[in-house]
Amino acid sequence: MVYNVNLLTRTQLQIQPNNYLKKVRQGTEVPRREDMDKKPDSRSEVVLQGNEACARAAVYAGCRFFAGYPITPSTEIIELLSSEMQKAGGAFIQMEDEIGSACAIIGARWGGSRAMTATSGPGYTLMQEAIGFAAVTETPIVIVNVQRGGPSTGQPTLSSQQDIYQARYGSHGDYGIIVLSPSSVQEMYDFTIKAFDLAEQFRTPVILLADEVVGHMREKITVHTGDRNIKRPKQRFAVSPSVDFFNGANSLVEGQLHDDMGRRIGHLPNKSGEFIEKINRKISDNVGMIADITTYCMEDADAAIVAYGSVARPALNAVKRARGIKDDRILPKFRVVRDLVKRGVKETMKTDYSHLKVGLIKINTVWPFPEDLLRQAAENVHTVIVPEMNVGKYCREVERVLWDKNVVPMPKCGGNIHTPKEILEKILEEEGVDE
């Protein structure tokens, strides 16, 4: 992003929103469409599909522009938002391709609307150039990637976690990015809201890295009904202040490297280096504010399962089985799925895993990598199992941080999710080696 201080100074920028509210109260300025007819915020419980939850959360989070292109398995998001976005007073457009969708949301964000797009696999690959553009212009956008099996057309209807590195390093050049990975429908809802807030706060593209299992699963979740009171986030020191279009600031949104005044610095190595450092460090220096993990039974654990996304669910089940915690809430509500899980449970019960002191570390913000949190959580374990639905990618990051532990990758490709039994057996195998 770039701004021109000819007309607005930094202090004026911060005063601007307050002035607006004052003017609205005094009746001298017409309130924006989104500020009118606000309903009080309350909560209710509903059964929703992951993709539907994401779409609903986007509207609640203040998203008022959606551009998309249908692709399995994320199509439900564009289907639902084609009507919901318009009902909320926003704009919706089905673009000609995913490249166009990603570009349109950047354009809309500079017009002043919070904007999102949703895609999967090949579509996400097409969006990479626009993600780089959003990173270099510091545009806050949200991109949902409901992962499917790859490479190429791959497995349109099956799940995977193969895009974990593409989400971080997909576009050319060096940039910082935030990636959230939900493992349940509730998290799909909550993380979508969080994604919008993080994007605005750090002025960066935020990727919601879901997968087909979470996207198509139906669960009972708590949703917000009513309208959210959206506050403008306080901009951090590392983030450039910026002004949306048509505010008289004469902004120049420039894809070339530029300084804070919008001047081209692409030909100046020193200044360019500073710029690259800035857009990387605004994320890496604030990992403490962004990083989020959830631990389960880690207090006395000897072995830990590090998981993210849908794989965290069988991992949690495995921990509960080993610990003898009978908590039926973790079982999916639908009959066919429950039968499958029950079969798995029966098999599990044949062997005794109760001596295994297993805990779970669920990574919620996969990028930036929560190094310190992981290090703290896994301080006392000696074995770390990393189940993931790819050839073992994220495991390398875990290995880098937990270099003194026995980190065991547990890759699974082909579209099937790990079963709790598989995870427990892997732990048994590794623990056996240790003793």
| Residues near another protein (CB under 8 A) | 4, 6, 64-65, 67, 86-87, 91, 93, 95-97, 99-101, 103-113, 115, 129-130, 133, 245-246, 248-256, 263
List, as one string, the DSSP characters of 30-97: PPPGGGSSPPPPEEEEEEEEHHHHHHHHHHHTTEEEEEE---TTTHHHHHHHHHHHHHTT-EEEE-SS
Helices of type H across 113-224:
121-126, 128-136, 164-169, 185-202, 212-216
| Closer CB to another protein, 112 or 233, in the complex | 112
Question: Looking at the chain, how many residues does it have?
Answer: 435
Least distance in angstroms from the C-beta of 313 to another protein: 36
| Closer CB to another protein, 46 or 252, in the complex | 252
DSSP 261: T
Residue entry with tokens 């109260």: 25
| Closer CB to another protein, 71 or 312, in the complex | 71
| Closer CB to another protein, 6 or 416, in the complex | 6
First to last CA, the chain: 56
Note whether 384 and 407 are within 8 A (CB).
yes
Q: Which residues pair with 388 in a beta bridge?
A: 411
| Closer CB to another protein, 199 or 214, in the complex | 199
Residue entry with tokens 């930036």: 368
What gap in Å lies between CA 213 and CA 152, rounded to an integer? 19
Least distance in angstroms from the C-beta of 119 to another protein: 14
Least distance in angstroms from the C-beta of 127 to another protein: 11
Least distance in angstroms from the C-beta of 408 to another protein: 42
Least distance in angstroms from the C-beta of 175 to another protein: 15
Least distance in angstroms from the C-beta of 268 to another protein: 15
Note whether 313 and 420 are within 8 A (CB).
no
Least distance in angstroms from the C-beta of 204 to another protein: 18
| Closer CB to another protein, 127 or 307, in the complex | 127
| Closer CB to another protein, 68 or 215, in the complex | 68
Closest residue by Cα to residue 369 from 390, 405, 387, 393? 393
